[in-house]
Amino acid sequence: MKKIIIILIVFLAAVWLYWNNLNSPVDKNGREQPFTVSKGETIKQIANNLSKADLIKSPFYFRYVIWRVDLKIQAAEYLISPALSAREIIKILSAGEAVGRDKNITLIEGWSLKDMAAYLEKNQLAGSGEYLKLAGAPLNDWRFGFSRPDFLSDAPLDAGLEGYLFPDTYRISANAAPEQIINKMLNNFNKKLTPPMRRDITAQNKTIYQIITMASLVEKEVRTPADMKIVSGIFWNRIKIGMPLQSDATLSYILGDKIGGHTIEQTKIDSPYNTYKYRGLTPGPIANPGLNAITAAIYPAENDYVYFLSDPATGKTIFSRTLNEHNENKAKYLK
């Protein structure tokens, strides 16, 4: 009789575990999050990834159901909520209920959060308001379902993600949520900023945040990789000797314009981002720089130039060693 009772208890416990793991969600109040099934992934890998993302309770029971009914999981990008049961998640993945057809988007070097948001909205991908709300929120108010990346550890807690949303071409779902797009961009930034680059930043007694801030200024000032390295050298030298950076790009950031030169009156605007009025770097990035600008900020070209300007006719950067030479170039090229 005892054996029967024990067997019955074990059986009921097994039934309860089976039911609970397949029908009870991980978190009834959980937020929807992006989940990718890549081509060639095994059921075991998919189950383990779901478990690591806290979307299912047990990889074992997940795999068992897939095996028992011989289901096929479709490779795609999904939005999965931990408020769904494992059975519901299996149904979504086996039916290939992806978040939409994939499409390419191209985010340009030097675009700000507002520029990116406008582009995404124009391409009917994400509302600019929601995108800006997420990406512009301070780090101490982290609103994402994924963990805060390590490369943000030296950024001020009141900073947003300006500067870290890596400009590139991305393939995303047509119905991708802003969080999913931002996650892709941050992951890309994490890959592009290599371990050797991070070690060199530390060796220079600088922070990633300072480098990205400098890179954003360089990105907005000049075009070519060679010019970026020279301008980076000029800016770091100016900081070293206590000279204002005097970057017109920072005035454009304040005023919301795209012109290359500003009036004397505009250089007096009282803003911490005004590098004519305040010395040193701006409080944070003014745009999202590309790899060339980031590389230039880390590895500036040594030079004895102090001034530079861009020829409006050709876009060529004209460098000067003295103020007199710079004034002569202004008279020649900025007529």
**144 neighbors 134 (Cβ within 8 angstroms):** yes
**223 neighbors 255 (Cβ within 8 angstroms):** no
Specify burial of residue 193 (Cβ count, 10 A radius: 0-12, 13-18, 19+).
Answer: buried
Global model pTM greater than 0.75: no
pLDDT of the residue at 23? 63
Mean pLDDT of the chain: 87
Taking the domain 2-95, which CATH number applies?
3.30.1490.480
* Mean of pLDDT values over 164-188: 90
pLDDT of the residue at 22? 58
Pinpoint the residues of the chain covered by CATH 3.30.1490.480. 2-95
Of residues 258 and 182, which shows the higher confidence score? 182
% pLDDT > 90, the chain: 50
To which H or E segment does residue 33 belong?
A: strand 33-37
Estimate the crossing angle of helix 195-203 against helix 208-221, to 10 degrees. 100
**223 neighbors 305 (Cβ within 8 angstroms):** no
Of residues 202 and 309, which shows the higher confidence score? 202
Is residue 313 over pLDDT 80? no
pLDDT of the residue at 93? 83
Specify burial of residue 262 (Cβ count, 10 A radius: 0-12, 13-18, 19+).
Answer: middle
Residue 178: closest CA among 128, 234, 227, 218: 128
* Mean of pLDDT values over 277-299: 97
Of residues 215 and 102, which shows the higher confidence score? 215
* Mean of pLDDT values over 282-308: 95
Of residues 41 and 202, which shows the higher confidence score? 202
Query: 188-208: per-residue pLDDT in tens?
Result: 999 999 999 999 999 999 999
* Mean of pLDDT values over 204-215: 98
Amino acid present at 107? L
